[in-house]
Each structure stands twice: as structure tokens, then as C-alpha cells.
Homo-oligomer: A and B are copies of this chain.
Amino acid sequence: MTLDINRIRETLDHLLYRWLDVERLTRYPRYAEHDRATFDGVIELCARLAAEKFEPGNRLSDIREPAFDGTRVSLPEETAEACRAYNASGMPAAGQDYAHGGMQLPYIVEMAANSFFSAASIGLKAYSMLTVANANLLMAHGSETQKRVFAVPALEGRYFGTMNLSEPQAGSSLSDIATRAVPDGADFAADPLGPRYRLTGTKMWISGGEHELGENIIHLVLAKVPDEAGRLPPGTRGISLFVVPRLLLDASGAPTGERNDIALAGLNHKLGYRGTVNTLLNYGEGRFPLRAPGGTDGAGAIGYRVGDLGAGLKCMFHMMNEARIQVGLGAAMLGYAGYLASLDYARQRPQGRPTAEGATPAKDASQPPIAIVEHPDVKRMLLAQKAYAEGALAFELYCALLVDEQHGDQPARADEARLLLDLLTPVAKSWPSEWCLEGNSLAIQVLGGYGYTRDFPVEQHWRDNRLNMIHEGTHGIHALDLLGRKVLMKDGEALRILFGRIGATAAAAAAVDGLQPLARQLSAAVEIVALATAEAWRSGSARAALTNATGYLRAFGHMVLAWIWLDLAIVSAQALTAAGTAADFHRGKLAAARYFFAYELPLVAAWLAPVRACDSLCRETATDWL
């Protein structure tokens, strides 16, 4: 069973060019040298690389998960091959300036192109995703030397990068991190690579934390600098950011020949995403003792501060909206891959007969069986997957476009895009993580017993996708962010922008034959979400409002996706009135939209019931009652 890359390509083309009119971005000065041909070239390249270099290693890297013999991490050769192919493609620098060897590609096109890798093998893709995020952060916040020494080699495909936030005792609560960074000698501030520190502490869940796939690994590490009494400053304002290379480099970027004191303490053995090595790293435990260039006692891994003291989280979160779009897009593509695999199976698998016309559910066993795709309940499971995956993909691309619109020359539009993206980010991260996971479960169900075996890819999609509700901020954290901060921003301005855009879609749909009931249903959903927002906050107490934040996130997300689907339905309804050869394609989009409105949107009111009632059950249940 091979991933249907062309099918994904067809949907991407539709979304990019017909729905979002991405070509208009070439009117922005930053993207002026691009045209559809250059966009298509990148998309084609990635489609081909994903099919040829990522998909073949997907199952294999799941079965032969990373192993550590106490000295070295071993990965399948297919992992190295996939990473090499990606690094050689120029994609790591896709979004960078021409001046730094980049392509200056719009973010939405970069995301569309990268989506093939997520569909083909999300576990193998994570190495490059993290590396690019790391390098982009350094390009945004590092000194010129830090950019040249640590980031440019990564953008050239020679180095790998990681993000070190969590610790065993601090995941969601970053304010509690305990990794210490102390100035390395009296001359610590004079190092050309940046203020030099010695780091000690343990970092957990570090993807790509140790391997030998490239020339070096550049770790970006959050840590705290103790005060004069040796105490770590409380809260997130005490957090600084450090760049900590696995192999030490001099100011020219040449290896010094020394290994930094970063020890692999163990691998995490995961449910999914097994293609990505995930590590527990000990910084400065003394496994790789260093000569002490700064004259301190020599303990600790050497790291160079990036940005100001205490500005670590700000630097890290600068990139977070984009990282969350990537998580959401990855979840969407796993959903898409599961949809296509189960659709393919359902078309080929004969079993059962149609229910005969009549008052009793009779079947004629003398007739040959039909393909299971013909059974209404199988169609339901396929329509649900299509609605989840294609809807999520469309939504993530919409969010990516909001990133690009911030580069436009109309400041008001750029500000609106920034504010709207801030509001939508918790949904962009969470919605595909929850619903495309559900879609992956439906894919297993379509395949029945076969879906439960490793002979088909759908069980791996389901396992892989389960991570997405956990990493980059858990589901519950994003719910608090949405209801506790985002809908309140600027006195509700972001929410007003969103409701304005949804209203415009509903108004447009009201003029399209057949879409009027959907337009009314969407307007009613907006009304109830607006009401619930006010009702949740009516007591003025954050504690009360946020008790049911997760139900609010779910309802809000379904409202947003209903908006996306109605907008897509308008495009397809219009395309169908024109003469065209792709009638099936557009009827499929309309069917998925109708599915979403008939089967999913009614859930919004149910999820909001406890939100609107300010139900205190989940606050007031004593832990001893559980």
C-alpha cells in the first residue's frame, strides 16, 4: 500500500491556488521573485522526496526503533538516507533570506511542501523540523557570529538542531526548570560566540538529542542563571536561552576537537513517533570533562547565551505560533494518510451486501459481495476522516498564510493577521491533534482486523498521532490559553476579527444555492460560542471561567472548522456551476462540508453546556472522592 501522493498534491493545489490565491503573495516585495512555477517546483520536489526517501523507511524505523548501547545511538540506515535527502534538497533554508542562502519562500508554500514528509513519515521528518526551527530561532535572536557558526551550517544541511525545554520534573510548568547556567570565568562575556556559561541539569523528551546523522548537533537549551546566593530566580522571567553544541566550535566555526559535556542518560521508548530518537540528556554531569577555557572549575557543559538574560522564553516563543502550525499540520497529514489508506482498502475489499429495499433489514446472500466503500457506515467513517483531515489541512494553510500576511506592506492587514493568528494558534495546534487522531481510529475501523495489524499503515498513524495532543503544549494548556488569554486580547479584538471573517463567509454562503442552511447553522454556532465566552467569564473569576476551558476549546475549534468548510463549500459550489472536469472532486468537498455540518457541528452546543452553566464539578470534586 503506497501513499497516494498525487491525491494530496491535487488537494494542495486546490487549497493554495483556487481557495487561498497564494499567487497574490508574489505582489509582496519579499516574494516578488517567485511565481507559481517556483512554488510548484518546490512542491513537486518535496512530493518526490517524500515518496522516494521517507515513506520506504516509515514502518522500518517504527519497528527498528532507536537503540543505545551505552556509547552510541543506532538508527536504521533509512533514517540517515531520509535526512541526507532532505538536507541536500535546500529545504532547510526554504524560508530564509536570499542573503543567507535561502529561497525566501512564503511560509504557506514551505508548509505545503513539507506536508508530504509528514504524510510519508512523521517520525523521520521530525529531525529536519526541529533543526529548521532551531536555526530559524538563532537567525532571529542570535548574534551575527552565532548565526554564522551555529545556524548557517544547519540551514546548509550539515548540522542538526534540538529544542531543550522540558525537564523530568517540569514539562507544562517551565517556570520550574532547574538547569543552571553559571558564567564561565571572569572573561565569560568576551567570548566571540556569546556570553559563555557552564550548564548543569537534565533535559527530558529531547527529540534528536543524540545521534551521528550529521557533523554536529546544536542544542538550544532553556536554563536559569542563579543569583549571588546561588538561588534560581522563580518563574519564567528567570529563564535564559543558550546554544550548546555537541562538539565544540571555535569562532570561525571550526571544530575544536572537544566533545561538550552532554551525556545521553537514556532513550524514551515511545508508543509512536519511533523514527525520532527521543532522549534524556544530562548537561554537565562530567561524562565528557572539558578543559576549562574560562578558568572555572571545569564542571558543566559549555553554552553561549542567546539574547538577553531572562529573555529565554520570549525568544523561544517567538517561533511558537509557527511550531504549532507545524504540529497541527503534521497531525492533519497523519489524518490524511489514514484517510487515503482506508479509502484505498474500502474500494478494494469486497464484503457484505447492500440492505435490500423493504421494511426489514434483509440481504441477498446469493448476490456477490460489494466493496465495503458502498456501505453507508463505511462512507460515514470515510467522510468523517475526509472532513477532519482535509479541513485541518485547509485550516493550517490558512494559518500559515496569516504568517505570510505579516510580511505584507499594509500594516493594518499585517496587524490583523498577527492578532487573528494569535487567537487561532491554540486551535491550530489542538484541533487536528484531537480529530485527526479520531480519524486515524476510524481508518483502523474501516480495515477491521487488518487495520489492527502491522501489515497496514493505519495502526502506526494512530500511534504516531497520539503524541500531538501532548507535545508543544498539552491540549489542556492550549484550552487555558484560548479561553484565559486569547479571546480576551485587546478587549476581545481578535475574537471580533474572527467573527467578522466568519460572518463574511456565512453571508457569501447565504447567496449560494444549497448552502443557505449551512450558513444559518454556522451563524447560530458563532452566536452560541459568543454567548458561552461571556457566560464563562460572567463571574469575573478566572478560576471559575477556566474550569471548563477544554470543552470551550473543542466547541470553538468545531466552529472554526465549520467556517473553513463552509468557505471551501462556496468555492466548490461555484466550481461546479462552471463547466469542468473535476465534478467528483468538488462534490466530494461539498459532501465533506455537509458531513461536518450534519454530524459534527451539533456537538458544539453539547460541549458548551457545562461551560455556559459554569459547572463547578471539576473544580469542587475532592481528590479523595476519585
Distance in angstroms between the alpha carbons of A613 and B617 in the assembled complex: 34
Q: Which residues of B contact A58 (CB under 8 A)?
A: none
What per-residue 1/0 map shows which CB atoms of A383-425 lie under 8 Å from chain B? 1001000000000000000000000000000000000000000
The verdict on A514 contacting chain B, using a C-beta distance below 8 Å, is no
Contact of A445 among B268, B474, B484 (CB under 8 A): B474
Contact of A475 among B445, B467, B546 (CB under 8 A): B445
Distance in angstroms between the alpha carbons of A598 and B379 in the assembled complex: 31
Q: Which residues of B contact A166 (CB under 8 A)?
A: 449
The verdict on A365 contacting chain B, using a C-beta distance below 8 Å, is yes
Q: Which residues of B contact A352 (CB under 8 A)?
A: 172-173
Q: How far is the CB of A430 from chain B (nearest CB, A)?
A: 12
Docked-complex contact A449 and B351, CB < 8 angstroms = no
The verdict on A621 contacting chain B, using a C-beta distance below 8 Å, is yes
A376 with B454, Cβ < 8 A, contacts A386-B626, A587-B622 known:
no
Docked-complex contact A383 and B626, CB < 8 angstroms = yes
Q: Chain B residue with minimal CB distance to A384?
A: B618
Of the candidate stretches A14-22, A242-250, A602-610, the one touching chain B is A602-610
Q: Which residues of B contact A466 (CB under 8 A)?
A: 441, 444, 452, 459, 462
The verdict on A228 contacting chain B, using a C-beta distance below 8 Å, is no
The verdict on A523 contacting chain B, using a C-beta distance below 8 Å, is no
Docked-complex contact B359 and A540, CB < 8 angstroms = yes
Q: Chain B residue with minimal CB distance to A587?
A: B625
Distance in angstroms between the alpha carbons of A27 and B353 in the assembled complex: 48
Q: Which residues of B contact A512 (CB under 8 A)?
A: none
The verdict on A132 contacting chain B, using a C-beta distance below 8 Å, is no
Q: At the interface, is chain A mostly helix, strand, loop or mixed? A: helix
Docked-complex contact A359 and B452, CB < 8 angstroms = no
Q: How large is the interface on A (under 10, 10 to 19, 20 to 34, 35 or more residues)?
A: 35 or more
Assuming A173-B352, A234-B366, A360-B484, what are 14 further A-B pairs, CB within 8 angstroms?
A171-B449, A176-B369, A270-B453, A356-B543, A361-B484, A376-B546, A379-B621, A379-B626, A445-B474, A445-B475, A452-B467, A584-B622, A584-B624, A602-B607
The verdict on A69 contacting chain B, using a C-beta distance below 8 Å, is no
Of the candidate stretches A299-307, A322-330, A496-504, A588-596, the one touching chain B is A588-596
Distance in angstroms between the alpha carbons of A125 and B555 in the assembled complex: 40
What per-residue 1/0 map shows which CB atoms of A461-472 lie under 8 Å from chain B? 011001101110
The verdict on A64 contacting chain B, using a C-beta distance below 8 Å, is no
Q: Which residues of B contact A76 (CB under 8 A)?
A: none
Q: How far is the CB of A467 from chain B (nearest CB, A)?
A: 6
Q: Chain B residue with minimal CB distance to A481?
A: B361
13 contacting pairs across A/B (C-beta < 8 A): A176-B365, A271-B452, A355-B542, A355-B543, A356-B543, A359-B541, A371-B623, A379-B619, A584-B622, A599-B609, A602-B605, A603-B603, A606-B606
The verdict on A89 contacting chain B, using a C-beta distance below 8 Å, is no
Q: Which residues of B contact A469 (CB under 8 A)?
A: 445
Contact of A617 among B171, B474, B476, B595 (CB under 8 A): B595
Distance in angstroms between the alpha carbons of A624 and B474 in the assembled complex: 38
Q: Chain B residue with minimal CB distance to A537?
A: B359
Q: Which residues of B contact A451 (CB under 8 A)?
A: 470
Q: Chain B residue with minimal CB distance to A451?
A: B470
Distance in angstroms between the alpha carbons of A591 and B448 in the assembled complex: 36
Docked-complex contact A365 and B175, CB < 8 angstroms = yes
The verdict on A204 contacting chain B, using a C-beta distance below 8 Å, is yes
Q: Which residues of B contact A548 (CB under 8 A)?
A: 376, 380
Distance in angstroms between the alpha carbons of A619 and B595 in the assembled complex: 12
Distance in angstroms between the alpha carbons of A115 and B161 in the assembled complex: 48
Q: How far is the CB of A390 from chain B (nearest CB, A)?
A: 11
